[in-house]
Amino acid sequence: MNSSNDEDMMNSLTRITRGVGVAFKDGRVKGILAFTVGMILWASVFYHFVEGWSWLDSIYFSVVTISTVGFGDFSPETAAGKIFTMLYIIVGLGVFVTAATTVADTILSQDDKKADK
């Protein structure tokens, strides 16, 4: 790599880092991230008590499911767990996408504001 590419990469990383800092100060971002974390915790409590999984496994499954990664190493065995998971996926997917979009939009809007100056 030449110094111009290194400089461009550093500028990009600096802009992203600055954007993430601004995003996490934004009330919209804080609210949707808090809601997302709340959903993950709520689902984790459900899986812990209904499916009998450890706390780590419950949190892991909740995150993997809401993010649509779905490794398939865990799956609910009870009818209640299966029904809950279907609803959790439908609602959680929308919440997760909204959270990711809100953070990305806030980061990208920092570049727009800078360009307007």
Length of the chain: 117
CA dist 47 and 13 (Å) reads: 38
Out of 1-10, 12-21, 60-69, 93-102, which region has the weakest mean confidence (pLDDT)?
Answer: 1-10
pLDDT value for 104: 84
Report domain extents, the chain: 27-116
* Domain spanning 27-116, CATH class: mainly alpha
Q: Which among 28, 55, 29 has a CA at the least distance from the CA of 40?
A: 55
pTM of the full structure: 0.74
Q: What pLDDT is recorded for position 2?
A: 57
Residue 3 has pLDDT above 70, yes or no: no
- Residue-wise pLDDT tens digits, 90-106: 999 899 898 888 888 88
Please state, in angstroms and as integers, the Cα–Cα distance from residue 77 to each residue in 20, 21, 27, 31, following that order. Answer: 39, 41, 39, 33
* pLDDT of res. 87: 96
Q: In this structure, what token pair is assigned to residue 33?
A: 């991230």
